[in-house]
Amino acid sequence: MQTQKVWFITGASRGFGLEIARAALAAGDQVVATVRSQPAQLATTLHNHPDLYVVQMDVTQENQVQVAVEQGIAHFGRVDILVNNAGYGIVTAIEEATDAEVRKLYDTNVFGVLNVTRAVLPYLRQQKSGRIINISSLFSYDAVPGWGLYGSTKFAVEGLSKGLAIELAPLGIHITAVAPGLFTTDFLSTESYVAAKTIIPDYETTVGPMRSGADALHGHQPGDPKKLAQMILQLANTDRPPLHLPVGKDAIAMYRSNAAKMAQEIEAWLPVAISTDHDHRIATATIA
C-alpha cells in the first residue's frame, strides 16, 4: 500500500507554497515545487531535501506548465496532490484598473490554475485517484473596497472548483477550494501585490484606506501560515475532504456575513423573484 504521496505545488518560493512544501517533506512525502525564477534558491531554503524536486515554471505559460508537469512525474513517477497556490493581489478600484492590469491578474490567478489543472488531470484520471487543492481567499466570499478585482479571480477559482468536483467525483479525484483569511505571509508585501497605476479621486474615500492600509497590516495578520500548512496536510489525508473550506476566524466571519446578507435580500425580493414564469406553466405545475 502506497503511503508516500507526491505533491505538485505552484508558487512554492514563499508564503503558503513554501510552508506547504516544507510540511509535506517533513511528513515524509515527495514534493515537486515550482517557482518562476531562482530554483536553486528554493532548493537551498529547503536544505536540498532528497524528496524535493524544484522546477522553474510560469503558470501563465502553458507550454512551460506541460513540460514542468512531465518533468515532475518523470522524476517521482506519479503525482497525487496538486496545490494551485500561485497568485498575486491588486489594490484598485475596478474602474481604475487598465485592461492590461486586469488581464495579467486573471492570467495568473485564473488561467494559471486552469493551465496547471489541465496538465495534471490526465495523470490523475489515469490512476483514478488524486487531490486538487485550490487556494482561494476570504475575498471570494464578499467584496471589499479596493480588492474587488482580486476577489473576482477567487470567485472564479471557487466556481471552477465546484465544476471540477462534480465532473471528477466518479473518477476518484477530490477537489477542495481553501479560502484563507489574513495570514502572516508576504501576500501584503510589495512582492505579492500591486497597486493600479491610475488613481481616481472619487474613490479615495473607499479605496484610499486600502492603498495605505495594506502596508500597515503586513506582518500583523492573525493567521499562522505554518498552521495552515499542517491543515492542508490533514486535508490531503482525509477520506472525505470538503469542497469549500474557509480558514481562519476572519474567513469564517466573512462567509457567514455574506450568506446572511444574501439570504435576507432573496427573502425580501422573493415575490418578485418567483413571479417570472409563464402563467399557464405555473397553473400546470400547480395542478400536477
Q: Which residues are catalytic?
A: 136, 150, 154
Q: Is 180 helix (H, G, I), strand (E, B) or coil?
A: strand
Measure Cα distances from 215 to 42, 43, 193 in Å.
25, 29, 10
> What is the DSSP-derived secondary structure letter of residue 46?
T
Would strands 30-35 and 52-56 be described as parallel, antiparallel, or unpaired?
Answer: parallel
For 158, counting Cβ atoms within 10 Å of its Cβ (0-12 exposed, 13-18 middle, 19+ buried), the class is: middle
User: Is the CB of residue 222 less than 8 Å from the CB of residue 250?
Assistant: yes
Q: Which long-range contacts (CB under 8 A, 24 or more apart) does 35-42 make?
A: 35/11, 38/13, 41/13, 42/12, 42/13, 42/18
Side-by-side strand order, sheet with 130-135: 52-56, 30-35, 6-9, 81-84, 130-135, 173-180, 244-247
C-alpha dihedral (218, 102, 246, 33), degrees to nearest 10: -80
Please state, in angstroms and rounded to a whole number, the distance separating the CA atoms of residues 52 and 25.
7
C-alpha cell at 279: 402563467
> What is the DSSP-derived secondary structure letter of residue 73?
H
